[in-house]
Chain A
Amino acid sequence: MQKSGRTCSPSFHNRCTDRFLLLIIFPAFLLVLLSGGTVFAQNTGPPVTALQKASDEDGRWLISAKDYANTRFSALDQIKAENVHDLRLSFTFSTGVSRGHEAAPIVADNAMYIVTPYPNILYALDLTRPGGPLKWKYEPKPLSAAQGLACCDVVNRGAVYSNERIFFNTLDGQTVAVDAKTGNEVWKTRIGNINLGESITMAPLVVKNKVLVGNSGGEFGVRGWLTALDANNGHVVWKAYSTGPDKDVLIGPNFKPFYRHDQGQNLGVATWPPEAWKIGGGTVWGFISYDPALNLIYHGTANPGPWNPEQRPGDNKWTAGVFARNPDTGEAHWFYQWSPHDLYDYDGVNENVLLDLPIAGQMRKVLVHPERNGYVYVLDRTTGEVLSATPFVHITTTKGVDLKTGRPIEVHEKTPRFNTVVHDICPTAPGGKDWQPSAYSPKTGWLYIPHQNMCMDEEGIEANYIAGTPYVGANVRMYAGPGGHRGEFTAWDPVAAKAVWKIKEKFPVWSGALATAGDVVFYGTMEGWFKAVNAWTGELLWRFKCGSGIIGQPITYRGPDGKQYVAILSGVGGWSGAIVAAGLDPRDGTGALGFVNAMKDLPEHTTRGGMLYVFALP
């Protein structure tokens, strides 16, 4: 499940600053020291292949994830480990919106495009003029009812540029195409029904002139889907559901899942009690990746809902897993389920990074996926076979993944049951890692993962009330995992299947990561620090305090002046930051589905407000 935030106002970070800095820097320093041995043993990454290579680096940033492989790696290298300490603020832009800013700025045609949280304003900034002034803005004016009808937060994860058009989604369920030069609307298609609780928060991807969009709103009992719209006119080309009969899921003769339990007819019906699949969840709100050589797109599906696990015996296909589909027809080629019969709200929508890596001495086309359930999976992306699944956080809910069956080995004592107290459930509902996307550097060969370090207790039940109906729910409380810090930034070697270095952060690291050929990796913290660290060692090289906490996606580009720039949206919010963005009551620890308990001190560290920050060397 996903969840919201606000605009950049000046930080009021005054109390305890010194102690606070120590909290961040010292553990990072310690970890770097501790992990040094590993670092130097790994001096050369695997060979860079065509898919990953940005040899034709044009300095633009067209897709949230930079490339179809979702590496978030830029070959630009003006800014490097040796000079990043000189990085200076170049210009800023206030979005005027104060909910959580999760989007990546898009850069093309000497302009930068930013889409805000609800009301989903699209801004174009002119990069050819000093200070990046506003070129045009486009306001889709989504239904204000969407705020109350949408499940969670009013975030938006960004736009995509293709063929001189900007495509993005609105909270109330529309996909819009806008002329990148003029800001004029080209087409607008309503594909989500807000009256059913469907909303859209994801960043679309354009593949072969089709705009790929999926829905959000599993909490409301919507049925998940991914659809393809014709980029020319917005007409629906195909729509693939995540539950139900094979014909709805676009499962046909070419569907060849690797594991036996995914083989069979109409499993999207048969693995549920009768009709439960009709409101079964499996929404599609993560980033999509694409392998042009295999002609396959890869997308995750969210958790099953809104039934309690005991009410939906079975694997609940095709929720909490990953599909490989043909982008032309939507036809499914394979599926793998991270969490069959999900018990913990582990949406399977985290990014799938497509890499070619030497696994057991052989180059394999793989898909690397840091999953909510706490494992980094390496899958053969041609077949869906699991090559490795290794914990990257503290896990108590499972004891590993059985590579023969592909299934996680469940720990029965940690199974939540209604009105039963279960302590020490790790990871929590937002997972070892939520939506915040990782980056991969072909230079180091490592994946840079922003993530949580949290556990939760389920303690009895509490009364609640919705739509005139009293109900009862589990009293969930989340708290810091081992070590007492709530976030980590981890460099992960997907070949050796182990962490190389880790930086501890006070709060969950809810921003995306950016890797560059200058051996600098960028990410932001919920207090508002935008950080540059050494890709090899994790050493903190530079940081800047933004006005509001950072939950956005950093990007880099080459400006019209030939200089390399780095950009990030600040504006705290999202599920983790809802306590600030939505002003939740810190006394009610069960707010934001139990996340508030773990974030009670966030309002002491940041305030809301959306602002773009762009940096460059002097």
Chain B
Amino acid sequence: MFSRCRRSGFFSVLALLWAFWPAAAIAAVNDDLPKRALRICSDPNNLPFSNQKQEGFENKIGNLIAHDLNAEVKYTWWVQRRGFIRNTLKSHQCDVVLGVPSDFAPTLTTTPYYRSSYVFVYRRDSGLNIRSFNDPALHDVRIGVQIVGDDFANTPPAHALTSRKIINNVVGYTVYGDYSQENPPARIIDAVVAGDIDIAIVWGPLAGYFAKRQAVPLAVVPVSPSADRSLPFVFDIAMGVRHGDKRLRRELERVIERRSKEIEAILDDYGVPRIGTRLSSRKGRSEWKSSISSRH
């Protein structure tokens, strides 16, 4: 949690000092004080989101927030698997998770700061032009999806294919992958490039980032429909704090508002496909200018 040091009172005192003391003395006082810590719970090996070298877009956004709050980033690294929230955020090891779905119950979420979609990814030289789950071509190509776990937990594309009886031409890649490799969830994109599968259906940020870095040109196309009855393919992504930590949420929401242009620039830089651009937020809800960005 951000160290609670009655900041407003403290800053009023500083302001008074500023008014009456020589500037040099103020600077000395400031240097002696430890900066507040922005304690982020993060996966050490999962680009484009984050890694220990702080190369992910969530790392960049974390730096941006810290800069805005005049704070210093402190990471708690933990593999983002089952128990991640419990062992990090809920154990008070850190105070914010920079990416969670906006209706993610285990945390208190901010207004969302981007909206992305599951996407189709295929080689441009494949001759494919698949844009919808209802495209009959999906019955005839080798499709890769990411598999999450049992008990009916799975990525929405896996469910969507099953409901269309597309089963025997589907290859599963565990979303966890082999953690000894870099960015294990990215293996499914490698498989498209290598031709092991014809098409992958994966979460947009992963696809956008890794598609940009391949020697082979890849098409990244948001899936349609954007929802399959009650099954969503588009998710609003927010920041998550501990339940009850409304103060930090409020602070983060203000930063999201103040720094929206810079956040957009970071997301662009990482090739995160977005559904609409965020216009503003009112009463905890973001408003989006609807437009579909895709690179085909």
> Which A residues lie at the B interface, using CB under 8 A?
1, 145, 147-149, 151-152, 193-197, 218-221, 273-276, 279, 281, 303-308, 310-311, 313, 345, 416, 418-419, 429, 458, 460-474, 476, 582-585, 588, 590, 593
Report 9 cross-chain contacts, Cβ distance below 8 Å, ordered by A residue. Answer: A148-B78, A195-B181, A221-B174, A311-B162, A463-B101, A466-B81, A470-B235, A472-B156, A588-B106
A149 near B81 with CB under 8 A, answer: yes
Which residues on A sit within 8 Å (CB–CB) of B235? 463, 470
Which residues on A sit within 8 Å (CB–CB) of B158? 308, 311
B149 near A273 with CB under 8 A, answer: no
Q: Which of B67-75, B224-232, B248-256, B276-284 contacts A (4 or more CB under 8 A)?
A: B224-232
Q: 9 additional contacts, CB 8 Å, given A220-B149, A585-B90?
A: A148-B79, A273-B170, A274-B169, A308-B159, A345-B151, A429-B151, A468-B205, A469-B148, A472-B156
B203 near A463 with CB under 8 A, answer: no
- Shortest distance from the beta carbon of A311 to any chain B beta carbon, whole Å: 5
Which residues on B sit within 8 Å (CB–CB) of A307? 147, 150, 172
Query: In whole angstroms, how far apart are the Cα atoms of A150 and B67 in the complex?
Result: 36
Does residue B12 face the partner (Cβ distance < 8 Å to A)?
no
B151 near A147 with CB under 8 A, answer: no
B155 near A469 with CB under 8 A, answer: yes
A468 near B80 with CB under 8 A, answer: yes
- Which residues of chain B in 229-268 are interfacial with respect to chain A, using CB atoms and an 8 Å cutoff? 229-232, 235, 237, 243
A463 near B104 with CB under 8 A, answer: yes
Does residue B290 face the partner (Cβ distance < 8 Å to A)?
no
- Which residues of chain B in 120-171 are interfacial with respect to chain A, using CB atoms and an 8 Å cutoff? 146-156, 158-159, 161-163, 167-171
* CB nearest to B228 among chain A residues: A419
* CB nearest to B46 among chain A residues: A468
Does residue B199 face the partner (Cβ distance < 8 Å to A)?
no
Decide yes or no: A273 and B154 within 8 Å by CB, A196-B178, A468-B206 being known contacts: no
B90 near A274 with CB under 8 A, answer: no
Does residue B190 face the partner (Cβ distance < 8 Å to A)?
no
Does residue B86 face the partner (Cβ distance < 8 Å to A)?
yes
Which residues on B sit within 8 Å (CB–CB) of A196? 176, 178-179
Which residues on B sit within 8 Å (CB–CB) of A147? 83, 87
- Shortest distance from the beta carbon of B82 to any chain A beta carbon, whole Å: 7
A276 near B172 with CB under 8 A, answer: yes
Does residue B96 face the partner (Cβ distance < 8 Å to A)?
no
A474 near B90 with CB under 8 A, answer: no
Chain B interfacial residues counted at CB < 8 A:
64
A471 near B155 with CB under 8 A, answer: yes
Q: Which of B162, B170, B232 contacts A472 (CB 8 A)?
A: B232
B78 near A473 with CB under 8 A, answer: no
- Shortest distance from the beta carbon of A361 to any chain B beta carbon, whole Å: 43
Which residues on B sit within 8 Å (CB–CB) of A305? 149-150
Chain B 167-198 interface 0/1 with A at a Cβ cutoff of 8 Å (1 = within): 11111101110111100110000000000000
From A149, A218, A307, A471, name the one whose CB has the most chain B CB atoms within 10 angstroms. Answer: A471
Which residues on B sit within 8 Å (CB–CB) of A593? 151
A469 near B203 with CB under 8 A, answer: yes
Does residue B84 face the partner (Cβ distance < 8 Å to A)?
yes
Does residue B214 face the partner (Cβ distance < 8 Å to A)?
no
Chain B 79-120 interface 0/1 with A at a Cβ cutoff of 8 Å (1 = within): 111111011001100000001110111100000000000000
A148 near B153 with CB under 8 A, answer: no
Query: In whole angstroms, how far apart are the Cα atoms of A476 and B153 in the complex?
Result: 11
> Which B residues lie at the A interface, using CB under 8 A?
43, 46, 48-49, 78-84, 86-87, 90-91, 99-101, 103-106, 146-156, 158-159, 161-163, 167-172, 174-176, 178-181, 184-185, 202-203, 205-206, 229-232, 235, 237, 243
A461 near B230 with CB under 8 A, answer: yes
* CB nearest to B205 among chain A residues: A468
- Shortest distance from the beta carbon of A593 to any chain B beta carbon, whole Å: 6
Query: In whole angstroms, how far apart are the Cα atoms of A303 and B151 in the complex?
Result: 11
A197 near B174 with CB under 8 A, answer: yes
Q: Which of B81, B91, B149 contacts A306 (CB 8 A)?
A: B149
* CB nearest to B56 among chain A residues: A468
A469 near B174 with CB under 8 A, answer: no
Which residues on B sit within 8 Å (CB–CB) of A460? 230
Query: In whole angstroms, how far apart are the Cα atoms of A273 and B155 in the complex?
Result: 18
* CB nearest to B97 among chain A residues: A465
* CB nearest to B103 among chain A residues: A463
Q: Which of A219, A310, A418 contacts B82 (CB 8 A)?
A: A219
- Shortest distance from the beta carbon of A347 to any chain B beta carbon, whole Å: 11
Query: In whole angstroms, how far apart are the Cα atoms of A293 and B205 in the complex?
Result: 60
Which residues on A sit within 8 Å (CB–CB) of B43? 467-468
Query: In whole angstroms, how far apart are the Cα atoms of A584 and B176 in the complex?
Result: 23
Query: In whole angstroms, how far apart are the Cα atoms of A196 and B180 in the complex?
Result: 8
Which residues on B sit within 8 Å (CB–CB) of A468? 43, 46, 48-49, 80, 99, 185, 203, 205-206
B155 near A465 with CB under 8 A, answer: no
Decide yes or no: A311 and B185 within 8 Å by CB, A197-B174, A476-B151 being known contacts: no
A303 near B150 with CB under 8 A, answer: yes
Query: In whole angstroms, how far apart are the Cα atoms of A128 and B214 in the complex?
Result: 68
* CB nearest to B100 among chain A residues: A465
Query: In whole angstroms, how far apart are the Cα atoms of A461 and B227 in the complex?
Result: 14
B82 near A419 with CB under 8 A, answer: no
Which residues on B sit within 8 Å (CB–CB) of A276? 172
Query: In whole angstroms, how far apart are the Cα atoms of A547 and B293 in the complex?
Result: 59
* CB nearest to B240 among chain A residues: A465
B232 near A463 with CB under 8 A, answer: yes
Decide yes or no: A149 and B101 within 8 Å by CB, A197-B174, A469-B203, A471-B154 being known contacts: no
Query: In whole angstroms, how far apart are the Cα atoms of A148 and B176 in the complex?
Result: 12
B101 near A1 with CB under 8 A, answer: no
Query: In whole angstroms, how far apart are the Cα atoms of A310 and B167 in the complex?
Result: 9
Which residues on B sit within 8 Å (CB–CB) of A151? 82
Which residues on A sit within 8 Å (CB–CB) of B170? 273, 311
Query: In whole angstroms, how far apart are the Cα atoms of A279 and B161 in the complex?
Result: 18
Query: In whole angstroms, how far apart are the Cα atoms of A275 and B101 in the complex?
Result: 31
Query: In whole angstroms, how far apart are the Cα atoms of A304 and B151 in the complex?
Result: 10
Query: In whole angstroms, how far apart are the Cα atoms of A148 and B41 in the complex?
Result: 13
Query: In whole angstroms, how far apart are the Cα atoms of A476 and B43 in the complex?
Result: 27
Query: In whole angstroms, how far apart are the Cα atoms of A219 and B83 in the complex?
Result: 13
Decide yes or no: A148 and B81 within 8 Å by CB, A279-B172, A416-B152 being known contacts: yes
B178 near A306 with CB under 8 A, answer: no
A311 near B167 with CB under 8 A, answer: yes
